[in-house]
Amino acid sequence: SYEFPVCGNIIKIPQLTDNLKEPTQCGCGRKGRFKQLSKELIDIQELSIIDPAENLTEGEQPLTKVILLKDDMTSHELNKTLYIYGSRIIINGIYKELPLFSRSGGQLTKYLTIIEANSVEPETEESKQFYPTPEEKKEFMEMASDPRTYEKLIEAVEPTIHGEERAKEAILLQSAGGVRRHLDEERVRRGDSHIFLIGDPATGKSVLIGAASTLLPRGRLASGKGTSGPGLCAAVVKNEIVGGNRADAGAMVLAHKSIIGIDEIGDIDNEQLTYLNPAMEQQVFNLNKAGVRGKFNTQTRVIAGANPKFGRFDSYQPIIGQFNIDVTLLSRFDLIFPFKDIPNKEKDEKLADHILSLNAGLKTFDKTENIFFDRNKLRKYIQCALKYEPELTPELINTIKEYYVNTRNPENFQGEVKTISLTTRQLEGLLRLAEASAKLRFSKKAGEIDAKRAIDLMQFSLTKVGFDEETGTVDIDKIATGISATERDAIGKLEEIIKEMENTSGKMIDITDLVELAKDQGISEERTEEIINKILKKGGDFFTPISGKIM
């Protein structure tokens, strides 16, 4: 409040910017110096809201709007229960324009538009989509023990995509999730499974990723194009009203305890992707930048997709090496599914019939045959499953242990090079999948049936991306590095042969002689030439000074 001493008139001026605004002219028409009588301080808070993902078209960036909260709307209780990253709210308020000032204090021609909130309340429409009524809960309980229910749930994940039942099953189990277990006071085993869909364009990956992101409340969908690592996790932005900087949550944080789909993840720079490592494994992201420190929970299920670096799969190259994904990040995914577009008359006819029938309206999804074709029914069933935290039974533990030990130590192994088929990473992945299976049965205990479902799915994924034809086994190193154990053994033998040849013949080595000596070590001519070509492509210690020679 300001008083004009000449006439005693009192003027109240709300302060809406960083700069103190004082009156310059009284209502009586005279100008002069005003005297400040009093001031009233109120709590204010800046809230940033963003467009819901379903309102955006493909490639469209969400718009944000600043909300100004005052007084009791800034309470700790509301911050803890209502203003949660990713939650949906309804705001009633007044649209206002705030002047912006330059550093020198002069007013700019630009204005900041905000909404000064009068009330904030949770959106109720989300409840109708995701949360079951008592009658629906009873209906689901009766269905849970029926083995056909599991198949119906898988079918309903995305019925417009023909086939790919294994990938759909993985998405279903991912949505239910495992159990987050505290192993001791410091260590926690995450309960969320991560899935990676890799393959040729136009094979349905993006559709499945989009479908997965809609199964849980607050699910998010992001595209690798134009996305950064900090943008996925958290970044520092400027506070427009109250000044200073703040931490702005990224898509991973917004999808906390939900699912995020990241399509075309290979388009994100590998250096940027390193931000995802702690967010996916430890499920926490620490921000410390520009004076802003924050710790964000990212208990988020990730389903990502990528196309090969050169457009399509190369049948003569290891699958994993064809994608622009760092090995460390790759190891965070429990399941990897390759989507190959290979001409096959029978499969092509079925796929064409499926797509054409859908578009012609000749094929529909009968909800009387499968109630989960109603998307909301599927979501609500999953919500019921989330309530369970199944215990691990001795039957489950023994089944998974037997699979783990026998797969790593096959009885009929006769080769020279022993491959590593599974590691403890896959062991924990199996537990997550088995727990999710038990949840979908509404069971308090995860048993043998859940173990077998998890093993079948894991074995399918590993065989598709890590099968070594020479040994007839899955080689986990082929998945992680693109090089199988037999190839690594051959490389080691070739390096020894090259050293011996350098000692006797000098640095320049005849490739023909190298091939012959390699044959004596059991390495075929084709394998030797393949390894030499790979070494030369990578560069480094070897090059070809003249045709037929390396040094």
**Residues 473 and 513 placed together within one structural domain of the fold:** no
- Whether residues 502 and 490 share a domain: the answer is yes
- pLDDT band of 472, cuts 50, 70, 90: low
Could you tell me the CATH number of the domain that includes residue 406?
1.10.8
What integer is the mean pLDDT of 358-371? 81
Tell me the C-alpha to C-alpha distance, in Å, between residue 327 and each of 92, 280, 285, 333, 411. Answer: 48, 14, 20, 11, 30
Average pLDDT over residues 26-40: 81
**Domain end residue (candidates: 446, 481, 516):** 481
pLDDT beyond 70 at 502: yes
Q: Let me know if residue 116 belongs to a domain.
A: yes
Q: Which residue has the higher pLDDT, 372 or 270?
A: 372
Is residue 66 domain-shared with residue 101, that is, in the same domain? yes
Average pLDDT of span 222-230: 72
pLDDT at 213: 92
Instruction: Examine the pLDDT at 416 and tell me if it is beyond 60.
Output: no
Q: For 248-280, what is each residue's pLDDT tens digit? A: 778 888 888 899 999 888 888 777 788 888 889
- The more confidently predicted of residues 471 and 183 is 183
Rg (CA), the chain: 30
Band (pLDDT 50/70/90 cuts) for residue 238 is confident
- What pLDDT is attached to residue 49? 84
Q: Which two tokens stand for residue 468?
A: 């070594």
Task: Report the distance separating Cα 392 and Cα 400, nearest Å.
Answer: 11
Considering 60, 89, 123, which residue would you say is the last residue of a domain? 123
What is the domain range of residue 411?
391-481
Contact between 393 and 447 under an 8 Å Cβ cutoff? The reply is yes
Least Cα distance to 374 among 135, 159, 54 occurs for 159
Instruction: Answer yes or no: do 456 and 508 share one domain.
Output: no
Measured distance CA(54)–CA(49) in Å, rounded: 15
Q: pLDDT tens digits for 93-136?
A: 998 887 777 777 677 888 888 888 888 887 766 667 888 889 99
Task: Name the residue type at position 519.
Answer: K
Contact 325, 273 (CB under 8 A): yes
pLDDT at 125: 62
Tell me the backbone φ, ψ of residue 393, rounded to 5 degrees. -85, 160
Residue 55: what pLDDT? 67
Size (the chain), residues: 551
pLDDT over 90 for what percent of the chain?
25
Residues 476 and 491 occupy one common structural domain: no
pLDDT of residue 78: 78
- Can you give the pLDDT at residue 470? 62
Q: Domain ends where: 423, 447, 481?
A: 481
In this predicted structure, what is the pLDDT of residue 483? 66
Asked, for residue 500, whether it belongs to a domain, the answer is yes
Terminal C-alpha separation, the chain: 86
Please check whether residues 457 and 500 belong to one and the same domain. Answer: no
- Same-domain check for residues 56 and 111: yes
Mean pLDDT for 495-519 is 78
pLDDT for 27? 75
pLDDT band for position 315 (50/70/90)? Answer: low
Higher pLDDT, 7 or 526: 7
Query: From CA 404, how far away is CA 201, in angstroms rounded?
Result: 34
| pLDDT score at 5 | 82
Residue 412 within any structural domain of the chain: yes
398 and 440 part of one domain: yes
Beta carbons within 8 Å of 202's beta carbon, 6+ residues apart: 341
Cβ count within 10 A of residue 486: 20
The model's pLDDT over 447-464, given as tens digits with 9 standing for 90+, comes to 999 999 999 999 999 888
Question: Do residues 407 and 464 both lie within one domain?
Answer: yes
- Virtual CA dihedral for 543, 546, 547, 551, nearest 10 degrees? -40
- Whether 97 is covered by a domain: the verdict is yes
- Angle formed by the axes of helices 375-386 and 165-176, nearest 10°: 50
Amino acid at 239: N
- Comparing 343 with 385, which gets the higher pLDDT? 385
Does the residue 462 lie in any domain? yes
DSSP E strands in 174-311: the ranges are 181-182, 188-189, 195-199, 220-223, 234-238, 245-249, 259-263, 284-289, 292-297, 301-306
Total count of domains within the chain: 3
Using the predicted structure, report yes or no on whether residue 155 has a pLDDT greater than 70.
Answer: yes
pLDDT range class, residue 342, cuts 50, 70, 90: confident
- The CATH number given to whatever domain includes residue 546 is 1.10.10
Q: Does 189 reside within a domain? A: no
pLDDT in tens, 83-100: 777 677 888 899 888 777
- 90 belongs to a structural domain: yes
Whether residue 360 is predicted with pLDDT greater than 70 in this model: the reply is yes
Is residue 508 one of the residues assigned to a domain? yes
Residue 434: pLDDT above 90?
Answer: yes
Give the DSSP H or E segment for 396: helix 394-408
Cα 241 to Cα 119, 174, 210, 247: the distances in Å are: 19, 40, 36, 15
Tell me: do 410 and 464 sit in the same domain: yes
Reference 149, options 511, 489, 439; nearest CA is 439
CATH code where residue 71 lies: 2.40.50.140
445 and 433 part of one domain: yes
CA nearest neighbour of 262 among 271, 274, 248, 273:
273
Q: Considering only CA atoms, which of 71, 83, 13 is closest in space to residue 43?
A: 71
Task: Report yes or no: 308 and 315 within 8 Å, Cβ to Cβ.
Answer: no
